[in-house]
Chain A
Amino acid sequence: MVGNRVGVKFCGGCNPQINRSKLFKELERKLPVKCGIIRDRDQEVWDVGIMLGGCSVACADTDEIRRLARNWIIVSGSMVDLFPLEESQIADAVVEKCRLLLNPV
């Protein structure tokens, strides 16, 4: 393992196309490691950040936020890393990406 600090960064939730809270709970259940919350003023860099953007704008995806984790998985509405998925498929797609980042082949 290269590191196992996984955190979630929420967008502001003004116009959600997906249910971010529900997605977070599903990720907490399915991720191989404990999942924390990334905050703007975190001092220590996370190993994997999962951005939970409620819509395609992904306004939380800024340079300042990106600096808070070494690797990012971006959920923006019903897309994961810019590829569209059904909402029901998002959690599994994120978990799989996270596994690969934590245990690179």
Chain B
Amino acid sequence: MTLKTPQEYIEDLKQMDIKLYMFGELVKDYVDHPMIRPSINAMAMTYQLAQNPEYEDLMTATSNLTGNKINRFTHLHQSTEDLVKKVKMQRLLGQKTGCCFQRCVGMDAFNAVYNTTFEIDAKHGTRYHERFQEYMKYVQDNDLTVDGCMTDARGDRSKSPGEQDDPDAYLRIVERRPNGIVVRGCKLHQTGMINSHEILVMPNNSLKESERDWAVCFAIPVDTPGMIYVYGRQSSDTRKMEPGKIDRGNIFFGGQEIMTIFNDVFVPWERVFMDGETDFTTMLVERFAGYHRQSYGGCKVGVGDTLIGAAQAIAEYNGAAKASHIKDKIIEMCHLNETLYACGIACSAEGRKTAAGNYLIDLLLANICKQNVTRFPYEMARLAQDIAGGFLVTMPSEQDFNHPEIGPLVAKYSTARSDIPAEHRQRMLRYIENLTLGSGAVGYLTESMHGAGSPQAQRIMISRLVNLKHRKELAETLCGIRENCDVTW
């Protein structure tokens, strides 16, 4: 079986026995918990769309390992066409869910680990790549969701992992046994962690030769003994506990971020894909980050599409859609959104084959993509709030709209255009609120800022990847400081 249904996926989660804490309590039966279920629904959509012939071309691919049809979220990209389709698929999911749908990190981790392990083996004579191929076949054949797990707790940012007062600030190997390793540490901001079947852990950053114990990459099931999960709060998250659904804004979907603690967890050797090869940590981190920065040119664009739609809708409901400044603001939102998409497509189209055979995006353009993503959604959110008006943040609650006595009065004075029901305006304003300052803003804004690396991380990569010497020589040639060998006439 290579394509699960959303029902099968949700059933898998129900079989998991995990240690999850939220609001200080151990959570039982988390799948149906009202605060968690929207994020599971978002992940389920990645399974749902793959079943639909209308979306098959984007949502599925042919495995290079088995020849089977698989969900593209488990695919190792085999061409620049695959890289482009990945971005388009992510845009589609962003449009369908209006949130972070969480499955991208795993896909990006697969591709980075696949080509890095190949090159580790070529240099060191290890056999990680073969192991990883077997793991990938397992993932693909069972259509698993895997959390790509990179960001450590990190402790004192001025110190490297080996210099930390607490060596567990970065996840590390604490014991090596004949049959495997034991690891300890904590990974933060783990998107969709408890909505996943498996975890693929990678080192957080480049490591020194003396930091071998931190140079570790491995995979484990989410319900491995020793794993502890603590659910991250989001703004307005407890609205999901309220009786109605309208005030949630996005009534179906949402994101999820988990503090993930590895409390002396055992990993068998067959699931270890890096142990001590510090000289390959930079490659793994940069490639994973590159793929994930590419992803944002798809997913946030799709969510941005819904925000543009919401801005247009609320302008119409308000009776303001014909005003030239409103039209111009929506044009600006489109300009910003499509620019992000253009970056996602560009870094894909300029991708290349790796020695392992799968394709890698153009790293410079992927970093440009993400650098823009750290800014443009914020401006789009500002424009959407401008268009929506102040009622966005002063509107009464759903319960007030439903009150038998004051409800009709609340609805009467919440109506803008008389042919548009008050409830439509209420729902659309809540959707914009969700995305621009509610729980959806976690994924649309702050994740755009910090996900796949904070802004400065991309600036460092840009400075490394741009050939400034060449550009300087261009200018020196044109102004006559250097000889111009091209002008021979």
The residues of A with any CB-CB pair to B shorter than 8 Å are: 15-17, 19, 56-58, 76, 81-83
Contact = CB atoms under 8 A, between A and B. Distances in A.
Interface in B429-479: 467, 470
Contact of A16 (B350, B352, B470): B470
B467 A83 contact: no
B355 A58 contact: no
B355 A56 contact: no
Nearest to B351: A57
Which of B352, B355, B470 is the most central at the interface, judged by chain A CB atoms within 10 Å of its CB? B352
B354 interface: yes
B40 to A, nearest CB: 39
Contacts of B119: 83
Contacts of B351: 57
7 contacts: A16-B470, A56-B352, A57-B350, A82-B353, A82-B355, A83-B119, A83-B355
A57 B360 CA distance: 10
B237 interface: no
Given A17-B467, A83-B119, A57 B362 contact: yes
A59 to B, nearest CB: 8
B122 interface: yes
Given A83-B119, A83-B122, A58 B352 contact: yes
A80 B92 CA distance: 37
Contacts of A17: 467
Contacts of B467: 15-17
Which of A16, A19, A82 is the most central at the interface, judged by chain B CB atoms within 10 Å of its CB? A82
Given A56-B362, A57-B362, A82 B354 contact: yes
Contacts of A83: 119, 122, 355
Given A16-B467, A16-B470, A76 B122 contact: no
Interface residues of B, number: 12
A40 B355 CA distance: 26
Nearest to A56: B352
Interface of B: 119, 122, 350-355, 362-363, 467, 470
B142 to A, nearest CB: 31
Nearest to A18: B467
Nearest to B123: A83
Which of B362, B363, B470 is the most central at the interface, judged by chain A CB atoms within 10 Å of its CB? B470
Contacts of A19: 470
B199 to A, nearest CB: 29
A46 to B, nearest CB: 22
A66 to B, nearest CB: 13
B346 to A, nearest CB: 11
A99 B122 CA distance: 22
A65 to B, nearest CB: 15
B16 to A, nearest CB: 39
Question: 3 closest pairs, A vs B, by CB?
Answer: A82-B355, A56-B352, A57-B350
A19 B485 CA distance: 14
Given A58-B352, A83-B119, 19 more contacts: A15-B467, A16-B467, A16-B470, A17-B467, A19-B470, A56-B352, A56-B362, A56-B363, A57-B350, A57-B351, A57-B352, A57-B362, A76-B352, A82-B352, A82-B353, A82-B354, A82-B355, A83-B122, A83-B355
A23 B52 CA distance: 52
Contacts of A57: 350-352, 362
Nearest to B353: A82
Nearest to A13: B470
A81 B350 CA distance: 17
Contacts of A16: 467, 470
A81 B352 CA distance: 12
Contacts of A15: 467
Contacts of B353: 82
A63 to B, nearest CB: 13
Contacts of B122: 83
A58 B470 CA distance: 18
A76 B351 CA distance: 12
Contacts of B350: 57
Contacts of A76: 352
A82 B115 CA distance: 11
Contacts of A81: 355
Nearest to A58: B352
A56 B351 CA distance: 8
A28 B362 CA distance: 30
A57 B470 CA distance: 17
A76 B355 CA distance: 12
B381 to A, nearest CB: 34
B343 to A, nearest CB: 16
Nearest to A16: B470
A48 B352 CA distance: 22
A16 B362 CA distance: 14
Contacts of A56: 352, 362-363
A58 B355 CA distance: 14
Contacts of B352: 56-58, 76, 82
